């Protein structure tokens, strides 16, 4: 426990929350901070520094701890270092003041003894408070209690904060506020940084694994003339110069397949996709997707690849393949089981479910699953799976062989009529990846697109695939047999960082309009 652990002290209150338009005590705090700002300027002290580049550079808190791993108490080590960070704790004892600063690596205590301070530091010190960003130079040592510290000789105000931090002992407990004011969440809770660090680690591991397998990372258009590649409602915008409507992409698929036609046999893209749909624990309108395609592979090839990608990411983030997620154990080691969609629905319902069964709508109703009267058998079965089976699959497990009507871009199953070679990876009750043996027959692809168009006309299917003539033209030039997959990065980060929902895995998720006042 650092000497500066108790918050506040004489003239050093904790934060008030700093809400816009504050009244009462909050307004008084804001006025007091503005007054400090003006006093600093009157003294000729710049409250917003250009930089902080002391001789010898700036050491991080981690570097200081690693250099002095087990220091004895009440020592000075004869080593002068410069450090920088935000003041997150402050204890003022008159001629002795403890400040705890936080940088990207953690916390470090500053000990400010009146006799150690330079004249400039002595002038700056009374004007700094919780939330300010400072740079300090001094000798490394330990306090009587053994707390590793920098005994300050020089102190520079780098940024004067005009609003206080959230209360030390209350912080930002409201999840909605954490997401709406993510910058305060990151300040108040260092653990929140795992949102960023876990995502970076996941992407680093995936890129390393794919690069080692000979895949080429590419970029494809975000604005597209046709929204295809997934069953989703797009966002629409208007291109003024071209005088035409365009769509934010709902998938990466169709342009990546054009690259297969062009001879790029192993390609992938990690990019943002946009779907104008609902927001819940697993869905955000803007999210990050990995899509990859490998010529001469199929959906079994994709199972093998994604298994290694997820394992590589888990080792990068967690250092192990066995770890808890939301209180339940996950084990990513060993061979992941493979089951069929029809088999899992039959198991869950306790009776055989097939595409030929005439009472599927009634069956769904008996199990409390709503359907549309014009849904075909494949769509009804998929709805049964998503409502009754998927949430109960802790996984990891591969669910294979989907009805053709729900996967228009997949290749027909080589031995099972009415099905396609489509597999989903389920982990922790969530679909993490669909993968396919890709459809390369342009005539078959056209028929699948036209089937979707018929559904759209018949019962207003907003998620029906538009007829992408340019993509069909590309297929007519010949696409090699291929496997492809799409991996949801945000859901993977959720699992590996042990986060409860997708909004917790995105630094700035989309939220309903609100004030966001702390």
Where b means 16+ CB within 10 Å and e means fewer, 357-391 reads: eeebbebbeeeebebeeebbbbbbbbbbbeebbbe
- Residue 109 backbone phi and psi in degrees, to 5: -90, 140
Task: Report which secondary-structure segment, H or E, holds 430.
Answer: strand 430-437
Average pLDDT rounded to a whole number, residues 246-270: 97
pLDDT in tens, 177-225: 888 888 888 888 888 888 899 999 999 999 999 999 999 999 999 999 8
Candidates 515, 267, 313; CA nearest to 425 is 313
CA 410 to centroid of chain Cα atoms:
28
Which of 171, 202, 226 terminates a domain? The answer is: 171
CA 257 to centroid of chain Cα atoms:
26
Question: CB-side exposure of 371: number of CA atoms within 13 Å?
Answer: 23
Which of 139, 171, 203 terminates a domain? The answer is: 171
Would you say residue 142 lies in a domain? Answer: yes
Would you say residue 76 lies in a domain? Answer: yes
pLDDT value for 11: 37
Is the model's pLDDT at 16 over the cut of 50? no
Same domain, 149 and 197: no
CATH number at residue 40: 2.40.50.140
CATH number at residue 289: 3.30.930.10
Same domain, 219 and 133: no
Candidates 480, 379, 376, 493; CA nearest to 430 is 493
Would you say residue 1 lies in a domain? Answer: no
Would you say residue 364 lies in a domain? Answer: no
For the beta carbon of residue 18, count every other beta carbon within 10 angstroms: 21
Same domain, 75 and 39: yes
107/14: higher pLDDT? 107
Average pLDDT rounded to a whole number, residues 14-34: 65
pLDDT value for 423: 98
Taking the CA atoms of residue 267, residue 248, residue 234 and residue 302 in that order, the dihedral angle to the nearest 10 degrees is 10
Same domain, 254 and 146: no
Would you say residue 360 lies in a domain? Answer: no
Cα separation, 31 vs 22, whole angstroms = 10
Would you say residue 195 lies in a domain? Answer: yes
Cα separation, 263 vs 410, whole angstroms = 20
Would you say residue 5 lies in a domain? Answer: no
Cα separation, 15 vs 410, whole angstroms = 56
C-beta of residue 364 within 8 angstroms of C-beta of residue 389: no
Altogether, the residues listed in the chain come to a count of: 518
Range of the domain at 450: 191-337+395-505
* pTM for the structure as a whole: 0.87
Same domain, 252 and 153: no
Instruction: Give the list of residues 6+ apart from residue 31 with CB closer than 8 angstroms, or none.
Output: none
pLDDT in tens, 326-380: 999 999 999 999 999 999 999 999 999 999 999 999 999 999 999 988 889 999 9
pLDDT in tens, 398-457: 999 999 988 877 999 999 999 999 999 999 999 999 999 999 999 999 988 887 777 666
Same domain, 325 and 466: yes
The structural domain count of the chain equals: 2
Residue 257, classified by CB atoms within 10 Å of its CB into exposed (0-12), middle (13-18) or buried (19+), is buried
pLDDT value for 374: 85
Same domain, 209 and 291: yes
C-beta of residue 345 within 8 angstroms of C-beta of residue 351: no
pLDDT in tens, 159-180: 999 988 876 545 577 788 888 8
Sheet holding 236-239, edge to edge: 223-224, 244-248, 236-239
Average pLDDT rounded to a whole number, residues 266-272: 98
Would you say residue 234 lies in a domain? Answer: yes
Give 3-state DSSP helix, strand, coil % of the chain, rounded to 5.
35, 25, 40
Same domain, 163 and 195: no
Q: Tokens 């192990």 sit at which residue? A: 320
Strand partners, 109: 100, 149
What integer best gives the mean pLDDT of the chain?
90
Candidates 125, 158, 105, 149; CA nearest to 4 is 149
Same domain, 159 and 201: no
Candidates 349, 357, 309; CA nearest to 332 is 309
Percent of residues, the chain, with pLDDT higher than 90: 74
Average pLDDT rounded to a whole number, residues 484-503: 96
Same domain, 132 and 198: no
C-beta of residue 236 within 8 angstroms of C-beta of residue 250: no
Same domain, 208 and 86: no
Is the model's pLDDT at 516 over the cut of 80? no
Instruction: With cut-offs at 50, 70 and 90, classify the pLDDT of residue 7.
Output: very low
pLDDT value for 456: 65
Same domain, 139 and 241: no
The DSSP-derived string for 76-89 is EEEEEEEEEEEEEE
């Amino acid at each position: 426990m650092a000497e500066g652990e108790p918050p506040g002290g004489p003239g050093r209150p904790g934060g008030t929350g700093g809400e816009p338009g504050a009244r009462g005590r909050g307004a008084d705090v804001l006025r007091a901070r503005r007054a400090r700002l003006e006093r600093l300027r009157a003294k000729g002290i710049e409250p917003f520094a250009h930089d902080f580049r002391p001789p010898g550079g700036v050491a991080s808190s981690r570097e200081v701890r690693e250099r002095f791993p087990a220091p004895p108490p009440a020592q000075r080590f004869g080593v002068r270092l410069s450090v920088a960070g935000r003041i997150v704790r402050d204890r003022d004892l008159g001629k002795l003041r403890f400040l705890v600063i936080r940088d990207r690596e953690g916390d470090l205590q500053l000990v400010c003894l009146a006799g150690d301070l330079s004249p400039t530091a002595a002038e700056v010190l009374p004007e700094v408070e919780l939330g300010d960003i400072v740079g300090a130079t001094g000798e490394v040592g330990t306090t009587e209690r053994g707390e590793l510290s920098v005994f300050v000789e020089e102190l520079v105000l780098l940024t004067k904060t005009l609003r206080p931090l959230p209360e030390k002992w209350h912080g930002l407990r409201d999840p909605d506020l954490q997401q709406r004011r993510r910058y305060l969440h990151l300040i108040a809770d260092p653990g929140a940084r795992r949102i960023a660090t876990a995502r970076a680690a996941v992407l680093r591991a995936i890129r390393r694994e794919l690069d080692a397998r000979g895949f080429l990372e590419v970029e494809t258009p975000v604005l597209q003339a046709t929204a295809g590649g997934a069953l989703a409602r797009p966002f629409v915008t208007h291109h003024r110069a071209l005088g035409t409507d365009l769509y934010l992409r709902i998938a990466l698929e169709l342009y990546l397949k054009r690259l297969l036609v062009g001879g790029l046999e192993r390609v992938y893209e990690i990019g943002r996709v946009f779907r104008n749909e609902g927001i819940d624990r697993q869905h955000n309108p803007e999210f990050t997707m990995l899509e990859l395609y490998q010529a001469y592979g199929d959906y079994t090839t994709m199972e093998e690849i994604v298994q290694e990608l997820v394992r590589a990411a888990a080792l990068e983030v967690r250092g192990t393949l066995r770890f808890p997620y939301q209180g339940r154990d996950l084990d990513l080691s060993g061979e992941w089981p493979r089951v069929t969609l029809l088999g899992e629905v039959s198991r869950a319902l306790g009776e055989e479910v097939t595409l030929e069964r005439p009472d599927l709508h009634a069956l769904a109703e008996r199990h409390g699953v709503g359907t549309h009267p014009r849904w075909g058998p494949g769509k009804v079965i998929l709805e049964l799976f998503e409502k009754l089976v998927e949430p109960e699959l802790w996984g990891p497990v591969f669910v294979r062989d989907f009805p053709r009507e729900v996967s228009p871009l997949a290749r027909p199953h080589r031995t099972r009529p009415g099905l396609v070679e489509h597999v989903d990876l389920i982990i922790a009750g969530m679909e993490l990846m669909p993968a396919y043996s890709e459809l390369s027959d342009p005539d078959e692809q056209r028929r699948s697109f036209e089937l979707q168009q018929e559904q759209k006309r018949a019962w207003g299917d907003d998620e029906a695939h538009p007829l992408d003539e340019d993509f069909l033209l590309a297929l007519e030039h010949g696409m090699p047999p291929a496997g492809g997959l799409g991996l949801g990065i945000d859901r993977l980060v959720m699992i590996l960082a042990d986060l409860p929902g997708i909004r917790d895995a995105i630094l700035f998720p989309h939220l309903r309009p609100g004030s966001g006042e702390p």
